Amino acid sequence: MLSPAELQALTLSLKVAFWGVLASLPVALALAYLLARMEFSGKTILDGLINLPLVLPPVVVGYALLVSFGRQAPLGRFLEAQFGLVFAFRWTGAALAAALMGLPLAVRAMRQGIESVDRGLESAAATLGASPPRIFATVTLPLALPGILNGLLLSFARSLGEFGATITFVSSIPGETQTLPLAIYGLTQVPGGDASALRLCAVSVALSLAALVTSEYLLRRARRGARA
């Protein structure tokens, strides 16, 4: 059984991961389609920038978010004044950090899903008079759906484990920004916190394993669909 504080950290982690993945979905899908179907100068640079969070220390990403979206930063002040959006030291900031760190994984999986779609089917739809948006909605998107879902699950699993960028950008505030990884870290720093830390570690492993197993299933399904 989880204590109220542990349950709070679990609920917040799921909330942060869900909204982070949901917010990054249209961006990831647009970037995946752009990289899979378009040829343009600077494509390699764009691909590198998208994957940069995978190789950068997460604390660098968190500091960049703090400098860009902090309440004293120009962009942060603008978003707060115009839309009432505050990211620094709020759960919304944790969701933003999770979205950014999970974006490269989502784009990679979605790009592979779109690239697996036979372009001949898209061309056939075009010869029948379908517009590009309709081709994407009725041909490309359904066939690439396993890859898209795979990307969402990988991003979700990455969001659940996000630590460095989150603690740098929004700190570890119980009930507000203290997700599972931050709660585990905090428990390891206090006497008598080992039991709670072990329980939260077990929950984290179970959630991540479930996401990865489902992701692998979708990837195999996508490969079978491509061969068919």
Encode pLDDT of 20-36 as tens digits.
999 999 999 999 999 99
The whole-angstrom separation of Cα 97 and Cα 56 is 13
Helix 43-55 and helix 4-37, axial crossing angle in degrees, nearest 10: 160
pTM of this structure: 0.88
Structure tokens that stand for 184 in this block: 């585990």
Q: How far is CA 192 from the centre of its chain?
A: 33
Measured CA to CA in angstroms, residue 151 lies from 20, 27, 221 at distances of 13, 12, 14
Helix 194-227 and helix 141-160, axial crossing angle in degrees, nearest 10: 160
The structural architecture, per CATH, of the domain 4-227 is: Orthogonal Bundle (1.10)
The whole-angstrom separation of Cα 18 and Cα 167 is 18
Type of residue found at 74 = P
| Residue from 9, 207, 12, 7 nearest 93 by CA | 12
- Least confident stretch, 17-31, 49-63, 139-153: 139-153
pLDDT at 226: 58
pLDDT digits (tens, 9 = 90+) for 55-109: 999 999 999 999 999 888 889 899 998 988 899 899 999 999 999 999 999 999 9
Asked if pLDDT for residue 224 goes beyond 80, the answer is no
Measured CA to CA in angstroms, residue 136 lies from 32, 114, 186 at distances of 13, 10, 46
pLDDT at 20: 94
Position 227 confidence tier, pLDDT thresholds 50, 70, 90: low
The whole-angstrom separation of Cα 20 and Cα 94 is 8
- Least confident stretch, 35-39, 187-191, 217-221: 217-221
The whole-angstrom separation of Cα 36 and Cα 33 is 5
